[in-house]
Chains A and B, each alone.
Chain A
Amino acid sequence: MSEKQSRKQITRRRLLQVLGLTAGGASLTAAANKLTDENTRRTIVDTLGGLFQNHFSRLSPDEVGETLARMERKYKEKYKQDVRVEATSALPNTLFGYALNLSRCRGYRDCVSACVEENNQSRDSEIQYIRVLEIPDGTMNLEHADHYYAGEVPKPDHFYLPVQCQQCENPPCVKACPVEATWQEPDGIVVIDYDWCIGCRYCQAACPYWARKFNWNEPVIPAESLNTQTHYLSNRPREKGVMEKCTFCLHRVRKQQLPACQEACPTGARVFGNLLDPDSEIRYILANKKVFRLKEDLNTEPKFWYYAD
């Protein structure tokens, strides 16, 4: 942590003390400690901890540890199984990018369902990070796309355009957020602190790719289909009233695994990789294929390229 950051943290602590928040919180915690029932005590302390949890980037390493442990307790109570919440940082010399071969995509939407399972999206409200558009040949006007195509695919005279978060280098959503609840990580992935988001949905209005989804109600994930390997900034279960989005499966790709959507794709249309690695497949594609990006006129600089053979 830089000196400036730690100084910022100290000023904030002092401010909190002045406002009596810390004092109030401490006395409440002390009062809770006096309760004999261990479980009640934990619940009260955890609830208070949740209500007054600080911004993720302001947490000290110790506080991150406490926060993750509190979340694991919360999820265990809710889903009756052990859930691991990690907070792995970005890898050095890494900038993630994605390329998608439109000639290979056949509209099976296996990526969509794999994503939902991997990222613990609410099954009840059917949140999906990837939308596959079925577009008639000869146009790129998205208004001609069918979002809800059914029946056998691929349909003749149509092509398929999967759209998810484009992980813009110049993300309008980050600029829009009034409380800095969303930001770009050093590996280029735009993430959300679900515990800091106030649910104003201004980022959703700002996103030109319709990549951000809101939890309109309490998310429902059947315990048996819960992915218990989670990350604070990606697939841990969310609560109602907060935004979520594709993180390129941050919890997987930071461990050298592929994003779930690429792993699930049966046609090999998807190529994920490190843009800073000159030997990566994605770099080969960017150098050798005629690639394009969606809505380049908006100057968002997506790290998601499309191409065709």
Chain B
Amino acid sequence: MSGIQFIKDCTKEAFQGSRRYWLWLSCLIAVCLVGAIAYWNQFTNGLIVTGMSDQVSWGIYIANFTFLVGLAAAAVMLVIPAYIFHNQAARSVVLLAEGVAVAACLMCMLFVTVDLGQPLRFWHMIPFVGRLNWPQSMLAWDVVVLSGYLFLNITIPWYITYHRYMGKKPDIRVYFPAILIAIFWAISIHTVTAFLFIGNPGRPFWNTALLGPRFIASAFTAGPAFMVLAFRVIDRETDFKVNTSVQKLLALITAVALQINLFMVGTELFTEFYAPTEHSASAQFLFFGADGQNALVPWIWGALFIEIVAVVILMVHKLRENSNLLAIACVLAIVGIWIEKGMGLIIPGFTPTPLGEVFGYLPTMTESLVSFGIWAFGILVFTILAKVTIKIETDRLKYKSSELA
């Protein structure tokens, strides 16, 4: 019974708030609806309404998916200090980080779903009922690890917040094993996503073992940077005060991860350009264009440039400790990583094609609107989760009080 009351109270809390809160929700819902309408166009007419082709058969949907798996995995950067090192500051916001993971996981699933030619056949992926090609297919692995990660990131915070709501102490013997699994799982979701690309010898641009470590480094750049920004907004817009040491910790993680990421990008660049082989054609296309197709060139140079600006701000203590500069660095790091491991990874993988053809790709309006819709949905989910979590964490949403009311 109290479980039902918990859901009721949480739902009530989610849709209760100031005019500003409602305005924010309405904006997000409006963008979601625009995305849904755009998707309807794609659903009825087929993927022809996208910019994708047999030559470049994945585009901005899979680019976003790849980026967001990283964002989901990055929650672990607060889970580890909070639960393993008992860092109190991290502990105070860890449920919010898990909220980011839930939202990112849902966005990942939506981005894969909108990329399907036959979305109504999604049930073919359900084991036994459908026919999941596990353990052969890396995409099957991704389905398994993403669903598992979503499940872990819903159940653990659920268990903890529910106990808080009931005024009880959560049993560490129950949730700690789950936390340990979740930590390994977080690394695995992004490794599996890297393997999804690495495992294609026919695509030399992806077929490099460095992609795995690069994915982890870029995830631990963009994820903590995203959380710095999210916590900044929460700190300003709500009465929940985020401990400054949390921001310091996250800024430091971003700084270190971004340096490692840039180092690995440099290693790749050396391999591709010092002694270029036939397999360097994709990198050549990405950085310098090929056959008159050079849409990605300014983007990738821009991404590298802003990543370098971000790393400078993050590395100099004085600059990093200025919260406005830190916010700018975080935005630059996120955008840089989004370009570099999103479009900058997917499109060159397909260019040139295995038969040597260079073919252009640009996302269409439909594709962009659907993508914005999914992002809005993810931010909506995070907003609601954060709102409810904060209320419970600050002991203002409790079982008894709800009964009295």
Contact = CB atoms under 8 A, between A and B. Distances in A.
Nearest to B134: A178
A142 interface: yes
B46 A163 contact: no
Q: Which of A178, A210, A212, A241 has the most CB of B within 10 A?
A: A178
B interface, over-half SS:
loop
A198 B355 contact: no
Given A15-B128, A198-B122, A143 B352 contact: yes
Contacts of A217: 45-48
Contacts of A133: 355-356
A163 B355 contact: yes
Contacts of B48: 125, 216-217
A234 to B, nearest CB: 19
A207 interface: yes
Given A141-B278, A172-B200, A218-B46, A12 B120 contact: no
A200 B116 contact: yes
B82 interface: no
Interface in B165-203: 196, 199-203
B136 interface: yes
A176 B50 CA distance: 23
A98 B138 CA distance: 30
Given A15-B129, A147-B355, A179-B133, A205 B57 contact: yes
B89 interface: no
Chain B interface residue count: which class?
35 or more
Given A177-B137, A298-B202, A144 B57 contact: no
Interface in A199-251: 199-202, 204-210, 212-218, 240-242
Interface residues of A, number: 55
Contacts of A208: 201-202, 354
A207 B354 contact: yes
A177 B357 CA distance: 24
A175 B355 contact: no
A11 interface: yes
A172 B196 CA distance: 12
A210 B58 contact: no
A21 interface: yes
Given A201-B58, A206-B200, A298-B202, A216 B52 contact: yes
Interface in B109-148: 112, 115-122, 124-125, 128-133, 136-140, 143
B137 A202 contact: yes
B92 interface: no
B368 interface: no
Contacts of B136: 175
A99 interface: no
A197 B118 contact: yes
A218 to B, nearest CB: 6
B281 interface: yes
A209 B354 contact: yes
A145 B358 CA distance: 11
B277 to A, nearest CB: 11
Contacts of B196: 202
A55 B121 CA distance: 11
B67 to A, nearest CB: 18
A147 B291 CA distance: 13
Nearest to B278: A141
Contacts of B46: 215-218, 240-241
B202 A179 contact: no
A145 B312 CA distance: 45
B53 interface: yes
Contacts of B58: 201, 205
B137 A176 contact: yes
Q: Which of B122, B128, B202 has the most CB of A within 10 A?
A: B202
Nearest to B138: A176
Given A21-B129, A172-B202, A143 B57 contact: no
A51 B290 CA distance: 44
B208 interface: no
A16 interface: yes
Contacts of B133: 177-180
Nearest to A172: B202
B117 A215 contact: yes
A283 B202 CA distance: 28
Interface string A127-143: 10001010000000111
A143 B200 contact: no
B54 interface: yes
A36 to B, nearest CB: 29
Contacts of A198: 116-119, 121-122, 124-125
A205 B205 CA distance: 12
B293 interface: no
A108 interface: no
A1 interface: no
B357 A204 contact: no
7 contacts: A51-B120, A125-B48, A178-B140, A178-B143, A202-B196, A206-B202, A210-B353
Interface of A: 11-12, 15-16, 19, 21, 51, 55, 58, 125, 127, 131, 133, 141-145, 147, 163, 172, 175-181, 196-202, 204-210, 212-218, 240-242, 295, 298-299
Given A133-B355, A210-B54, 5 more contacts: A142-B352, A179-B121, A205-B200, A210-B355, A241-B117
